[in-house]
């Protein structure tokens, strides 16, 4: 969420930012409500001041009648203050719900546009493979090599659930290991996070688990609790330091978090319905950084560099996308995606998103109340948060299988994964 004072000072910029992001938000209302809030607050404080002064008089007062009278006065002040406080609470929750809709500001260099076509390709690595046979898609490969069982997944948990089997299962473990190792080498702290988190934490990160429209809810909630299944370790990693003041001497704090990810995919009916591309559950290694405002942009580029390093290591062709304003998520100030070439996607192959890294500035930390402080500096400031995918396992598997398939139906395992799998090729059984 943005700071109300910032919105007040940058009203027009905030409005045009909403427009660029194709969002309707009542920005003016923030100021109206905030004015109301401030006025009420100062009235409350004046009453509280009177209350405090009065309370100090009472113990000194010898005359019982006057004492009685002062107490009565105090009581009426308390009642006034209570009523106003209830009102203030309501105003604050109104303010919060208006603020929640307003997205983060946008990096001045991010491409402006509303459609996916407005995204800008800023880099390309490798060449899409040319086949001298007709390549299969990953669903066919999973089937012929017995790497996944979608029928069993559907039978046990429903559509878009799956079992990984044989080298499919080993591939997941190997990818996790590969990603973790790479990140540890880069100085990240490896973490395995909870797969569940409280609703407030999800909201702090920018999810809306309580969206009144069930079609829009992206996460599963656990009945009779205030918990959700996490959609990404970004949630649990970001929540890790909530309500804390971090020492800037220790920043940036960089974590490599492993978790399962659960997504209802409610808004995407009929899209990518087959196979592993869009599923309700997958495993992911996520990068997350807490840093100072000064460090954020450098770290963002560094996360992108690491994502590239990981996919180059897997030998996969990809392009890097600078996401346009209309495609940015609410908390993101700027976002880069890696899209890997997937020969089985669409009619003749297509790029598919495999990673995404966002600089969320202080948008998340403001809600999660994550501050930082440096020695000798007065006061605190909100930490900046960044996140990025290291490996989303199912998407990586799609790209590996489709790109590395051979005419004889086998699939060559990327060299970096061979030590963990113990072979260099998956052959039909």
In sequence order, what are the residues at sequence separation of 6 or more whose Cβ sits closer than 8 angstroms to the Cβ of residue 348? none
Query: Strand order in 381-382's β-sheet?
Result: 244-247, 370-373, 381-382
The Cα 288–Cα 235 span in angstroms is 10
In the bound state with RNA, the residue whose beta carbon lies nearer, of 73 and 353, is 73
Q: How far is the CB of 258 from RNA (least distance, A)?
A: 16
| 208/48 Cα distance (integer angstroms) | 36
Rounded to whole angstroms, the Cα distance separating 418 from 402 reads 17
73 is catalytic: no
Q: Which of 217, 259, 356, 367 is catalytic?
A: 356
Binding residue for RNA, selected from 23, 41, 88, 416, defined by CB under 7 A:
41
Q: Is 123 in the site for RNA (CB under 7 A)?
A: no
Cβ closest to RNA, residue 310 vs residue 368: 368
Q: Residue from 75, 123, 210, 216 that binds RNA (CB under 7 A)?
A: 75
Q: Could you say which of 16, 49, 159, 185 contacts RNA (CB under 7 A)?
A: 49
User: Does 8 sit near RNA (CB under 7 A)?
Assistant: no
Which residues neighbour 381 within 8 Å (Cβ) at sequence distance 6 or greater?
A: 292, 293, 362, 371, 372, 373
Query: In sequence order, what E strands does 167-294 have?
Result: 189-192, 196-198, 227-229, 244-247, 253-262, 281-291
Residues binding RNA: number (CB under 7 A): 30
- Dihedral sign (CA 171, 177, 180, 186): negative
Contact between 84 and RNA by CB under 7 A: the answer reads no
Smallest distance from RNA to CB 365, Å: 13
Residue 46 interacting with RNA (CB under 7 A): yes
CA–CA separation, 34 vs 174, rounded Å?
52
Binding to RNA by residue 214, rule CB under 7 A? no
The nearer residue to RNA, 271 or 378, going by C-beta atoms, is 378
Instruction: State both tokens at 319.
Output: 């392009």
Q: Does 165 bind RNA (CB under 7 A)?
A: no
42 near RNA, judged by CB under 7 A: yes
Q: Is 353 one of the annotated active-site residues of the chain? A: yes
Under rule CB under 7 A, residue 59 binds RNA: yes
Return the structure tokens found at 364. 């998340």
Q: Which residues are CB-neighbours of 425 under 8 A, at least 6 positions away?
A: 410, 411, 412, 413
Q: 147: number of CA atoms within 13 Å, CB side? A: 27
Query: Active site residue: 353, 381, 418, 425, which one?
Result: 353
Q: What residues numbered 359-378 form the site for RNA, per CB under 7 A?
A: 371, 373, 378
Regarding 249 and contact with RNA (CB under 7 A), the answer is no
State in angstroms the smallest separation of the CB of 60 from RNA. 9
Report the nearest approach of RNA to the CB of residue 114 (Å): 34
Instruction: Show Cβ contacts of residue 196 under 8 Å, excluding neighbours closer than 6 positions.
Output: 222, 227, 228, 229, 230
CB of 96 to RNA, least distance (A): 14
Is residue 56 part of the contact set for RNA (CB under 7 A)? yes
- Which residues are paired to 258 by β-bridges? 192, 285
By CB under 7 A, name the binding residues for RNA. Answer: 5, 38, 41-42, 44-46, 48-49, 51-56, 58-59, 70-71, 74-75, 77-78, 82, 89, 371, 373, 378-380
Residues with catalytic function: 263, 278, 353, 356, 395
């Amino acid at each position: 969420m943005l700071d109300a004072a910032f919105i007040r000072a940058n009203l027009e910029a905030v409005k045009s930012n909403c427009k660029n992001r194709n969002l309707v938000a009542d920005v003016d209302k923030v100021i109206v409500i905030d004015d109301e809030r401030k006025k009420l607050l100062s009235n409350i404080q004046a009453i509280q001041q009177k209350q405090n002064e009065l309370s100090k008089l009472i113990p000194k007062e010898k005359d019982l009648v006057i004492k009685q009278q002062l107490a009565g006065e105090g009581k009426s002040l308390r009642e006034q203050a209570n009523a106003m406080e209830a009102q203030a609470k309501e105003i604050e929750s109104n303010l919060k719900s208006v603020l929640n809709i307003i997205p983060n500001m946008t990096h001045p260099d991010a491409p402006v546009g509303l459609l996916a076509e407005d995204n800008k390709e800023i880099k390309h690595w490798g060449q899409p493979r040319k086949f001298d046979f007709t390549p299969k898609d990953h669903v066919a490969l999973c089937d012929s090599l017995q790497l996944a069982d979608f029928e069993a997944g559907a039978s046990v948990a429903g559509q878009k659930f799956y079992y990984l089997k044989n080298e499919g299962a080993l591939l997941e473990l190997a990818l996790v290991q590969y990603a973790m190792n790479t990140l540890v080498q880069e100085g990240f702290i490896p973490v395995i996070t909870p797969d569940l988190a409280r609703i407030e934490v999800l909201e702090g990160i920018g999810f809306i688990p309580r969206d009144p429209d069930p079609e829009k809810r992206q996460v599963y909630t656990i009945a009779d609790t205030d918990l959700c299944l996490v959609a990404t370790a970004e949630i649990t990693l970001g929540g890790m330091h909530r309500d804390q003041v971090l020492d800037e001497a220790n920043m940036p704090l960089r974590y490599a978090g492993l978790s399962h990810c659960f997504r209802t995919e409610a808004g995407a009916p009929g899209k990518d319905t087959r196979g592993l591309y869009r599923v309700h559950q997958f495993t992911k290694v996520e990068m997350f950084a807490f840093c100072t405002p000064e460090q954020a942009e450098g770290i963002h580029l560094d996360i992108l560099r690491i994502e590239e390093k990981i996919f180059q290591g897997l030998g996969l062709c990809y392009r890097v996308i600078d996401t346009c304003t209309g495609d940015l998520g609410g908390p993101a100030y700027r976002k880069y995606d890696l899209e890997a070439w997937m020969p089985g996607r669409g009619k003749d192959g297509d790029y598919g998103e495999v990673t995404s890294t966002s600089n969320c500035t202080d948008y998340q930390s403001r809600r999660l109340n994550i501050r930082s402080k440096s020695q000798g500096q007065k006061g605190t400031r909100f930490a900046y948060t960044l996140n990025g995918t290291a490996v989303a396992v199912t998407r990586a598997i799609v790209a590996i299988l489709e790109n590395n398939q051979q005419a004889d139906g086998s699939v060559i395992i990327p060299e970096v994964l061979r030590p963990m799998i113990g072979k260099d090729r998956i052959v039909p059984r």
